[in-house]
Amino acid sequence: MHLETITSKQKWVFEKLDKFPEFYLVGGTALALQIGHRISVDFDLFSKKDITLRVLNKVRRIFKGSKIEVIREHSEQLSVTIDRTKVDFVKYPFPLLFKLIKYQGVSISKISEIAVMKAYTMGRRETLKDYIDLYYILKEKHVTLEKIIKLSQKKYKREFNPRLFLEQLIHPEDVQDMQIDFLKKPVTKQEMEKFFRNEVKEIIYL
């Protein structure tokens, strides 16, 4: 795992996430730990279960002595900061397609699973980080675009729109700029657009 992608404060939080075995790590941090492409600053933890008060009480117990701030709290999501490290506990009803990886007792989504979740998210709340993550996934051939689409349809059924996803994928220039701390060769929006357009063309011509 690429532990250089998280800060020392994050490592301290990560080392205690094994106390939440019903959750698994997803998103940019789960991907960065596996491919080492950029710094990631928060933790996204998913579970099929409702997010009850028990989760918050457990956070306060496990991280006793830390400064904990509650940002959002309801049955589908608990968002907190633990000494300024943001952690989201989210109810996620969709099935896992792949067996989880275990690292230091923490369950982590595989790269292909993360790619599929990014594709689904792009139809709802795309950010520059989503484009960058998908760029490295495809560029380094961890999974193909065609495979991402097929897996997304399997995971999300009719809730995933392949055409909408591909249309948005070729327009990274539309998303708001944000600070990205690259650990591999940086990529621009223009470079991503050119790359994604070529990838989409290959899909269309299959």
> Tokens 């941090």 — which residue?
29
In this predicted structure, the answer to whether residue 124 has a pLDDT above a threshold of 80 is no
> Tens digits of per-residue pLDDT, 33-49?
999 999 998 999 999 99
Contacts of residue 15, Cβ cutoff 8 Å, sequence gap at least 6: 104
Cβ contacts of 169-174, under 8 Å, gap ≥ 24:
169/122, 169/131, 169/134, 169/196, 169/199, 169/200, 170/196, 170/197, 170/200, 172/128, 172/131, 172/196
For residue 154, name the pLDDT band (cuts at 50, 70, 90).
very high
- Average of per-residue pLDDT across 105-113: 98
- Average of per-residue pLDDT across 124-151: 94
Q: What percentage of the chain reaches a pLDDT higher than 90?
A: 88
Which among 78, 93, 108 is the end of a domain?
A: 108
Mark whether 133 and 104 lie in a shared domain: no
> What's the total number of domains in the chain?
2
200: containing domain: 111-204
Contacts of residue 81, Cβ cutoff 8 Å, sequence gap at least 6: 67, 68, 69, 71, 87
Which among 108, 138, 158 is the end of a domain?
A: 108
Enter the pTM of the model.
0.93
pLDDT at 205: 52
Q: Tell me the CATH number at 78.
A: 3.10.450.620
Mark whether 76 and 33 lie in a shared domain: yes
87 contacts 69 by C-beta, under 8 angstroms: no
184 contacts 36 by C-beta, under 8 angstroms: yes
User: Which ranges in the chain belong to alpha helices (H)?
Assistant: 8-14, 27-35, 53-62, 111-122, 128-139, 145-156, 162-169, 189-204
For residue 119, name the pLDDT band (cuts at 50, 70, 90).
very high
> Tens digits of per-residue pLDDT, 57-85?
999 999 998 999 999 999 899 999 999 99
Mark whether 94 and 155 lie in a shared domain: no
In this predicted structure, the answer to whether residue 191 has a pLDDT above a threshold of 60 is yes
- Average of per-residue pLDDT across 169-178: 90
For residue 203, name the pLDDT band (cuts at 50, 70, 90).
confident
Angle between helices 189-204 and 145-156 (to 10 degrees): 80
Angle between helices 111-122 and 27-35 (to 10 degrees): 140
First to last CA, the chain: 35
In this predicted structure, the answer to whether residue 206 has a pLDDT above a threshold of 60 is no
Mark whether 103 and 200 lie in a shared domain: no
Mark whether 158 and 143 lie in a shared domain: yes
Which among 108, 124, 143 is the end of a domain?
A: 108
Tokens read off for 24: 């698994």
Mark whether 196 and 160 lie in a shared domain: yes
